[in-house]
Amino acid sequence: MNNPDHNQQTIERRGLMFVISSPSGAGKTSLAKRLLQGDDQISMSISMTTRPARPGEIEGQDYFFVDHLSFEAAIEAGDLLEWAEVFGNFYGTPKRHVEEQLKQGRDIMFDIDWQGTQALHEQVGHDLVRVFILPPSVAALEERLRGRGQDDDAVVKKRMSDAANQISHWAEYDYVIINDDLDVSYQELKNILFAERLKRERRIGLSSFVRTMIKEM
Ligand code: 5GP
């Protein structure tokens, strides 16, 4: 697999939390999938939920499935970075899993909405990189929603109004990609990730590297 840190291999870095948000239909899922498949240093965050597993879902891979009591205990113990109630079920981001990955210099991707992003931002600050994906136009968004062919008019209308709500939070993100062409957007997303990995404050091995270099001069 290609290694973006190729000649930086010896310099240890802290991982980052890569949030991708968008209205439904803007192409976020395809972009996230491509990034996960093409890069072995990033993996998807695994949430904890009280929702029962659906057929085919795997414990510890799709979610950590728990009962209400365990979820409440996790909130009480401060084990969750953020949590939310969605359609009567609870969902949250376990702190320990994220922290372990970051310490190992591995990145974690989050597919969450603006509310989850705000909550994460309050908790973790600089570890977070926030990317918002916009559709190129209203017409393109509507076409993509209809193109799925699964939803009737009422559902599409509801999605469009949810999309307007999501999009109104665009300015709370560090980067915005206008997804007109999936290949171009994928390249832009990779560029953001690779540049963020090179940020001085994440590269915890840099100071000893430079110290040694200066000593040898
Ligand atoms: P599902 O039950 O279909 O897997 O997910 C339902 C909803 O819960 C989705 O909108 C998803 O984004 C949201 N969700 C999943 N995990 C988390 C989480 O850890 N935190 C928050 N805030 N929402 C989540």
The answer on 81 and 155 residing in a single domain is no
Taking only the tens place, the pLDDT of each residue in 17-61 is: 999 999 988 989 999 999 999 999 999 999 999 999 999 999 999
127 in a structural domain: yes
Domain interval for residue 26: 10-41+106-217
5 in a structural domain: no
Distance CA 203, CA 105 (A): 9
Residues touching ligand 1 (Cβ under 6 Å) are 47, 51, 82, 84, 86, 91-93, 112, 116
165 in a structural domain: yes
Whether residue 19 contacts residue 108, with contact meaning beta carbons closer than 8 Å, is answered with: no
Pocket test for ligand 1, best of 24, 95, 112 (most atoms within 8 A of CB): 112
- What is the CB-side half-sphere exposure of residue 69 using CA atoms within 13 A? 0
Domain count, the chain: 2
pTM for the structure as a whole: 0.88
3 in a structural domain: no
* Cβ-count burial 110-138 (b if 16+ within 10 Å, e if not): bebbbebbebbbebbeebbbbbbbbbeee
Query: Domain of 25: which CATH number?
Result: 3.40.50.300
Taking only the tens place, the pLDDT of each residue in 52-91 is: 999 999 999 999 999 999 999 999 999 999 999 988 999 9
Pocket test for ligand 1, best of 86, 87, 113, 159 (most atoms within 8 A of CB): 86
The answer on 122 and 26 residing in a single domain is yes
The answer on 133 and 112 residing in a single domain is yes
- What is the CB-side half-sphere exposure of residue 42 using CA atoms within 13 A? 25
pLDDT at 6 exceeding the cut of 60 = no
Closest-CA residue, ligand 1 atom 24, reads: 91
The answer on 96 and 58 residing in a single domain is yes
In the block, residue with structure tokens 């109630």:
85
pLDDT at 146 exceeding the cut of 60 = yes
